[in-house]
Chain A
Amino acid sequence: SQTIHQWPATLVQPVGSPLSLECTVEGTSNPNLYWYRQAAGRGLQLLFYSVGIGQISSEVPQNLSASRPQDRQFILSSKKLLLSDSGFYLCAWSSPRVKPEAFFGQGTRLTVV
């Protein structure tokens, strides 16, 4: 069966510090991968998605970047965090040719102080 791991679960970082959130998927190959941010009252905002290794599409201009160094690994990064980067970050995967729905990780609560 397929599983998705996302870590860390919670993170408190000072303004100006770097960020690295990691997500890995097991039990499937060549998944589509996604990073979402969830803010109160705004639902889930798609930040990045990837349909293959090294292929990253950005949905909104921001202080964040994403990378996909391996088929089932997706990393969300920042060189210098801003207060506005605080939020709940969710990684997800899908294989639309098998099932149309996306499957989500447990999420990371990021607080920038």
Chain B
Amino acid sequence: AQTVTQSQPEMSVQEAETVTLSCTYDTSENNYYLFWYKQPPSRQMILVIRQEAYKQQNATENRFSVNFQKAAKSFSLKISDSQLGDTAMYFCAFMKLPSGTYKYIFGTGTRLKVLA
């Protein structure tokens, strides 16, 4: 069974600085998707970024980028120029392909606080 591990329960960063959140996963599959979701205090889960395992190029979305290391099964999220609105829980998630069930497996989350 696939597992997702986020080893940093809490992190903090100064506004305008850069922070990296770690995620590792365990799978024997070769084709899969990885995601980072953000859950602000409102509790609404929002997709931040996704990465297809078959793509070597790391995904980027504005200030958010990932470092995908397939052999190491590592998928970290880098937030540049941190803003107060980035304060949230961040969840790493995995979905294998092909799959008739399309189950999303989540890590336990990292609580990020951006300090003014």
Contact = CB atoms under 8 A, between A and B. Distances in A.
A103 B97 CA distance: 18
A60 to B, nearest CB: 12
Secondary structure call for the A interface: strand
A107 B43 contact: yes
Interface residue tally on A, bucketed by range: 20 to 34
Interface residues of B, number: 28
B106 A44 contact: yes
Given A43-B108, A100-B33, 9 more contacts: A32-B102, A34-B103, A43-B107, A44-B91, A46-B105, A49-B102, A96-B95, A107-B43, A107-B45
Contacts of A7: none
Of B91, B100, B103, B104, which is in contact with the most chain A CB atoms at under 10 Å from its CB?
B104
Interface in B39-81: 42-45, 47, 50, 52
28 contacts: A32-B101, A32-B102, A41-B9, A42-B108, A43-B4, A43-B91, A43-B106, A43-B107, A43-B109, A44-B93, A46-B105, A49-B101, A49-B102, A57-B101, A88-B43, A90-B45, A92-B45, A94-B104, A96-B99, A96-B102, A100-B95, A100-B97, A101-B33, A101-B47, A102-B104, A106-B43, A106-B44, A109-B43
Interface of A: 32, 34, 36, 41-44, 46, 49, 51, 57, 59, 88, 90, 92, 94, 96, 100-104, 106-107, 109
